[in-house]
Structure formats: C-alpha cells, structure tokens
Structure 1
Amino acid sequence: MNNTEQLDDAVAAIFSGTYGVIAIVFYVLWAVAAWKVFSKAGYPGILALIPIVNAIVVVRIAGYSGWLVLLYLIPIVNLVFAILVALRLGENFGKGAFFSIFWLWLFQFVGLFVLGFGSARYAPRRS
C-alpha cells in the first residue's frame, strides 16, 4: 500500500465519520422538534425517537390511518402521499397550504420546529 492509498483511506475515514456525526445531529434535532409536535397533538413525545413509529405518528397526527405509512414504500406514490400528509398536518395546526408545502414538505426539519415551539395549536379537523 503506497502513501497515496493510505491518504485516500484516511480522508475517506474522516469524511465518513463526519457525515455520520452530522446525520446523528440532524436526527436528534428532528426528534426534538417532533417530540414537541407529538406532545402538542396528545401523543407521547418519546415516540419521536423510534424510527418507524415516528412516521406512523406523523401520519396519524395528519388524520390518516397509521397503516397508510406503507405508502411511503411505493415510489412516486410516496411523494404524493408526503404532500398530502404535509397539507393535512399544517391544516390541523392552523397553517395554510404555502406553509405546509414549503416548511412541512420541503423543509420538514424547520417546519416541525415552527409547529412544536411556536404558538400553533393542534385542532384536528373532523371528517
């Protein structure tokens, strides 16, 4: 193994570790925001820490059946369903379509912080 290969391996190890740490930091921040949103909606906040369960709870808060989370597994359908969930989630917290599409679909990380730590109140629509 020559010096170039060793340097490449070292750089790869540094960046893979860095990206892993960044991913964990973002997941923790997302979980904090989701915890507050879950609490406002009457669900235990700790459910935000469990990977598949948190998606089910977000779908339930949006007013859909938890089983519909399986639609996230189907390509193209998952995009449409994610938009529908974002719209209903925003509606249930008194937000409009622009907020829902921009902040809860495109930048969900920020949108959940706004819902969780802002003045929005959870008032689910009655179907």
Structure 2
Amino acid sequence: MESGVFFVLAFVIGLVVLMIASMWKIFEKAGKPGWAAIIPIYNTIILLEIAKKPWWWFLLMLIPYLGVIWSIWTWNMVVKNFGRTEGFTVGVILLSFIFIPILAFGDDKYIGTEAPSNPNILDANV
C-alpha cells in the first residue's frame, strides 16, 4: 500500500513541476520574467498581461462560479496571442497538463505585440 502512495505522490509532484516549467517557458516566450511562474497571484497578473487584459480581471476570477468565465477567456487570449485557435483553448481547459506544455515547448511564437499582417486592416477607408 505504501508504494501506491509513493507513486501517486511522485506523479503529482512531477505534474506540478511540468506545469511550472511550462508556465516559465510561456512567460519567457512572451518576454516576461520566467521566475514569475512560481509566485502565486503575480503569475496570474503576468498571464493577464500576456493575454492583453487588465490586471483587475484577477479580481473577477475570484468570483465563485463566474470567475471560471474570465479564466477561460484569459487562456483563450493567451492561446490566440501564440497563434493558436479556440480548439486549442478547449484542449488547454480540458487537458491542460498536455496542451500547456505543447504551447510552452513547441515552436509557437508570441505574436501578441506584432502589428497585423495586413496593414490596411486598421484603415477605416478600406
């Protein structure tokens, strides 16, 4: 019985380390300090910056039940700022231990600060 407890504990610790390393890498890809991934609350503020959302969304995330909406919306914007679609967001929400490392260690580049590829997209006369 004790070996089963050890296996579960080792698995949970490994999963936590994987998620912290993934967040660290995502932060670095977005030009933010990687060490912010290990600081509670501050890491959510940095994630909101990557998503291009205001810091006070963190307060909205604290609302029971409704906060889930803002959390999902934040991850959707993070995923989009790395050039992925809403389908990938669904993966991040349902299987985060698989999709967040894919986002972190894959070839995805942070495009949140780049200008649109079509320069006329901002022109109101088009």
Q: Fold match, TM over 0.5?
A: yes
- The total of aligned residue pairs comes to 113
Displacement of 1:19 in angstroms is: 5.3
Partner of 2:39: 50
Structure 1, unaligned runs of 5 or more: 1-10
Q: How far apart, CA to CA, are the structure 1 residues paired with 2:12 and 2:40?
A: 14
| Runs ≥4 residues deviating over 3 A | 17-24
Q: How far apart, CA to CA, are the structure 2 residues paired with 1:108 and 1:60?
A: 20
1:114 corresponds, among 92, 102, 113, to 102
Q: Percent of counterpart pairs with the same letter?
A: 32
TM-score, normalised via structure 1 length: 0.76
SS in 2 for 1:51: coil
Q: How far apart, CA to CA, are the structure 1 residues paired with 2:12 and 2:43?
A: 17
- Mapping of residues 1-127 of structure 1, within 5 Å: 15=5, 21-102=10-91, 104-124=92-112
Larger Rg: 1
Question: Considering only aligned residues, what root-mean-square deviation do their CA atoms show, in Å?
Answer: 2.2
TM-score, normalised via structure 2 length: 0.76
Q: How far apart, CA to CA, are the structure 1 residues paired with 2:15 and 2:59?
A: 24
